[in-house]
Structure 1
Amino acid sequence: MRVSDRTKLSPDQACELILLTMLVGEAMMTGLNRRGIDVGRINYQENGNWGVFRSSGPYLHIHLYGRARSAKIQKYGDALHLPHRETGFYDGFRPLDEGDIREIKDEISRLLKTEKYRSIPEISRRPAGSRSGSDIQARNGATGGLYRDGDDEEVDDAE
């Protein structure tokens, strides 16, 4: 399903989206800290700005930014600065490595077994019309497109 923004979601779908971002954000916080990246906060942002230049138009997607306390470029506590890719701003950034992504995925798997998120796999098998507001469809690959700056802060280039 492709929609331009959250106002096109049903209330149930909107609740599912929130729960998914909670799961991934919690997994990022725990997993990346375990990998030595001192993430103190996750910023959640709905984007689509660059999609306005495409014939297909913008589509709903959520960026999760791990805000590292020790970041030198996107300093902890400051607003994010996210210029277009061609500006060269991101040239020194490096992608999260396989170990980082594996740690996040492993943490997602662990969290799915907790009381807080236990119903997610069950919910994803239900017909869309039978889901309640607290339901969610779990999706794989939620960490794609994330980058570290030279000082271990993540920035998503998928915009």
Structure 2
Amino acid sequence: MFTVSNDANILRSRKELKSLFKNKSRLSEDHFKDLITSMLNKHDDQFHGLWQEGRTYHKGDVVYYQGALWEMQAETEICAHEDEAPGKGNQWKSLVKELEKKVNQLQHDLTELSKAFAEYQEQMKIRLHQFLRYITLLTLGLAITFVWLFIGSTHHIVTGTN
């Protein structure tokens, strides 16, 4: 069953909202609050849809232009002209382009880290191979030393000399 929070700032997904309208359920005031809070309100959210030449925009207004959301940054209102379109001046800030830049930077950083990690792994393989070779040589040297000591001790015991 769907539970409703008293917090009006909680946004509900479409799936959650659709579940309210199943099985002839009776909806409460809180259900409608959740529905209203979870929806885009063009006035409250200052969303104006597609950018239109000749339309007046104010600071904080959000428009959709060339595949991205743009927010008006200018302190004074503008009557939009082609040379003031989002991305052509400093009146608009892209809400997606900055995210794209951050994602691209993260991808670049991840690629660099991946290369550095691959180099580190290769160096560790080489060092492990060298370490195993040294351990093998050390073990062989210790074995020769113990055999030499054993033979020498046995020789002294058998011959009775100091």
Which structure has more RCO (C-alpha within 8 Å, separation ≥ 6)? 1
TM-score range, shorter chain: under 0.3
Structure whose residues are more often helix by fraction: 2
Q: TM-score, normalised by structure 1?
A: 0.23
**Bigger-Rg structure (1/2):** 2
